[in-house]
Structure 1
Amino acid sequence: MTIWQPDPNETLIARSAVSFATGAATPVAGMRWFRDTGRTDIQDELPGWPEGPRFTVRGKTERRLRSGAKFGASVLLVATLGVLESLAGSGSTGTVATLGAPEDPENEVEDFPVMWAAPGALARSLPWQLDPARRPETDRTHLAVTDRRVLVLGLLNDVDNPFDEVLWETERSHVAAATRKEFSRYDTDFTITFTDGSWCRLAGRDTNCRDDITRALENPLPLMDPDDLTPGQHQAVRELLEGKEPGGTLLIHRRPSGSVYVTYRLHDRVDPTYGIGSAAFKLMDADGQNARFRKGDI
């Protein structure tokens, strides 16, 4: 089994499955583009990239047809649910999720760039394997974040032998910000903005994947020293680790709400579909008791 590991003098904070994001709004649904700062398509300029699909933003006529089809499907769904509710003699059987209002219509509805980079900018160096429309079905891509670096790893979709390979890396200091995007299906999208102004829009395999990465890229890195814990928190951590396999990494995050988030991870347990999850975790208050989750804690 070949699994990438950080250097002896660095700490792995998160490793999660990611890909370039995919448009969700009707005009750009299922699509993505690679742009320079003049909004020109640059995918043919990216060195070593294989040919990929060519997309066109849907015109108003096509949007109306798609909306009409969705409306018809919605009517059928409502009618069906009404019958089911009558038969069951109960209330609503489900809810319909919506995307809400776009935060950045120009880049989420009118266009959907997943790479925004001037010539020579860092985002242009990202590997083509991040594009699910280009990489083989047998492959996956993970983003690994350490206290020193950010890396893109390529691997096989094989739990027994993922065969990790470093496809790209940069110093952590080259990342200016990582931002969760609210206007995304399933709450999986986020952007990474580099210090040269270029950026990319990625999507985690699920919300946990996204949150692990964006939390790991917070600046300054909000990791606490165990010596800073209160006696009650120390006791909570001891109880959390009871019976857990040794050899993992304990990370203690100070959260914006004032709570403390603790994770324990075994770095040799990689799931190609998701990455490295927590063998144990806890959000706790100053006394080590379970804290109520607030936005941004996780």
Structure 2
Amino acid sequence: MDWYPDPGETPLFRGSASFASGRAPKVAGKRWFRDEQGRDIGSEIFGWPPAPVHEQRGDKAVKTGKTLGFLGKATAVVVAGTLELFSSSGGSLVNFKEPDGSTPTDPEREVEDFPVLWAPDGTTARRTPWQLDPDRRPERYRTDLQLTDRRLLVLGSASVTAPAEVLWQLPLEQVATARQHAFSSHGADVTIDFADGSWIRLDLGSKGSAAKAVWVLAGNTEPVRLTEAQQAWAVKFTERMPGTIETVGTPVPGAPAGTLSIEIIVHRDAEHFLKVGPITVDADGKPVVA
């Protein structure tokens, strides 16, 4: 996928992105698109093609699925977790903890329901591209989140070899906050809050990608300076790639000080470049094996 920044614009993050899907048993693998009143607007957003209507699983089905999960191979789609407490009526799930230790921070929107778009009419979230929805986009179609020091973009491509098209973009000033969710399919969910109060929840594919995107959207748009050892590593790594190199480093949360996730851009001429990485490298210029 090719995408070219504007002159003077610095790419800071790029990775796969899709609307997230629920993890709790009642909403596992499902998602909803809602307005400020909580109405399902998935079939009302202008320009969006139709998609299957998701239904929440009833409490009885959730309990049955959990039992099957413990006894053998479940025939229902159930996310494995440790049930801690049911309501006194034996109905709705109240609180539970997953094997990785994560728990819901907003049970109403992560256990009982799972909205991935919250958008009053006319707000920013309603303009997000439908291709982010796995239920709507063509098979094998890929969508990426691209962040620069100026913009948030959603890129789309029919294949890894096809040029990317810009599906949607907005200035970073229109992003209010972003937060990562541990309670998600693989810890990779990020909610992006827009300045007008609307928001979307995306799955960015990995915990590391989610953390990097949140770091950039928190206002860290100045490129991080590589150590001399890291810069020397980048030069050696690209010695057989003709062109001028540009490096983009992002701190790795929880890693030793100075550890960066480094993307290398090899500029061959004014219009053509090669991207390598990101690769995690410690302060001494040694790649880190995850």
Residues 59-118 of structure 1, C-alpha deviations (whole Å, 9 max, x = no match): 11111111121121289xxxxxxxxxxxxxxxxxxxx94463111111100100000111
Which stretch of structure 1 is more off in the superposition, 16-25 or 2-11? 2-11
Q: What secondary structure, in the 3-state scheme, does the structure 1 residue paired with 2:17 have? A: strand
Q: Are the aligned partners of 2:26 and 2:62 in contact in 1 as well (CA < 8 Å)?
A: yes
Partner of 1:181 in structure 2? 181
- TM-score normalised by structure 2 residue count: 0.78
1:65 maps to 2:59: no
Q: Give the count of matched residue pairs.
A: 255
Partner of 1:17 in structure 2? 16
Instruction: Give 1:169's aligned amino acid.
Output: Q
1:219 maps to 2:213: no
Partner of 2:157 in structure 1? 155
Q: Whose RCO is larger (CA < 8 A, sep 6+)? A: 1
Residues 142-180 of structure 1, C-alpha deviations (whole Å, 9 max, x = no match): 1111111111111022x3x22211110000111111211
Q: What secondary structure, in the 3-state scheme, does the structure 2 residue paired with 1:187 have? A: coil
Partner of 2:257 in structure 1? 259
Distance (Å, rounded) in 1 between the aligned partners of 2:42 and 2:236:
51
Runs of 5+ unmatched residues, structure 1: 76-95, 269-275, 293-297
Matches within 5 A, 1:93-104: 97-98=99-100, 100-104=102-106
1:239 maps to 2:241: no
Distance (Å, rounded) in 2 between the aligned partners of 1:20 and 1:262:
24
**Once the 2 structures are TM-superposed, how far is the Cα of residue 217 of structure 1 from its aligned partner?**
2.0
Are residues 163 and 290 of structure 1, via their aligned partners in 2, closer, same or farther at CA, if it must alter by over 3 Å?
Answer: closer
Q: Is the strand fraction higher in 1 or 2? A: 2
Residues 118-152 of structure 1, C-alpha deviations (whole Å, 9 max, x = no match): 11110110010000011011311111111111111
Instruction: Give 2:178's aligned amino acid.
Output: A
**Once the 2 structures are TM-superposed, how far is the Cα of residue 240 of structure 1 from its aligned partner?**
4.0
Q: Are the aligned partners of 1:180 and 1:190 in contact in 2 as well (CA < 8 Å)?
A: yes
Are residues 281 and 100 of structure 1, via their aligned partners in 2, closer, same or farther at CA, if it must alter by over 3 Å?
Answer: closer
Q: Is the helix fraction higher in 1 or 2? A: 1
Partner of 2:78 in structure 1? none
Q: What secondary structure, in the 3-state scheme, does the structure 1 residue paired with 2:109 have? A: helix
Q: Are the aligned partners of 2:16 and 2:205 in contact in 1 as well (CA < 8 Å)?
A: yes
Q: Are the aligned partners of 2:27 and 2:57 in contact in 1 as well (CA < 8 Å)?
A: yes
Instruction: Give 2:110's aligned amino acid.
Output: E
> Which of 113, 116, 123 is the matching residue for 1:114?
116
Are residues 104 and 250 of structure 1, via their aligned partners in 2, closer, same or farther at CA, if it must alter by over 3 Å?
Answer: same
Instruction: Give 1:118's aligned amino acid.
Output: P
Q: What secondary structure, in the 3-state scheme, does the structure 2 residue paired with 1:239 have? A: helix
Which stretch of structure 1 is more off in the superposition, 124-133 or 58-67? 58-67
Q: Percent same amino acid among aligned pairs?
A: 35
Q: What secondary structure, in the 3-state scheme, does the structure 2 residue paired with 1:42 have? A: coil
Are residues 239 and 135 of structure 1, via their aligned partners in 2, closer, same or farther at CA, if it must alter by over 3 Å?
Answer: closer
Residues 166-212 of structure 1, C-alpha deviations (whole Å, 9 max, x = no match): 11000011111121101012112111111111110000223343334
What's the C-alpha RMSD, in Å, of the aligned pairs?
Answer: 2.9
- TM-score normalised by structure 1 residue count: 0.76
Distance (Å, rounded) in 1 between the aligned partners of 2:276 and 2:51:
32
Runs of 5+ unmatched residues, structure 2: 75-97, 268-274
Partner of 1:56 in structure 2? 55
Partner of 1:133 in structure 2? 135
Residues 9-39 of structure 1, C-alpha deviations (whole Å, 9 max, x = no match): 2011111111000111001011100011211
Q: Are the aligned partners of 2:12 and 2:221 in contact in 1 as well (CA < 8 Å)?
A: no
Q: Are the aligned partners of 1:266 and 1:279 in contact in 2 as well (CA < 8 Å)?
A: no
Are residues 105 and 277 of structure 1, via their aligned partners in 2, closer, same or farther at CA, if it must alter by over 3 Å?
Answer: farther
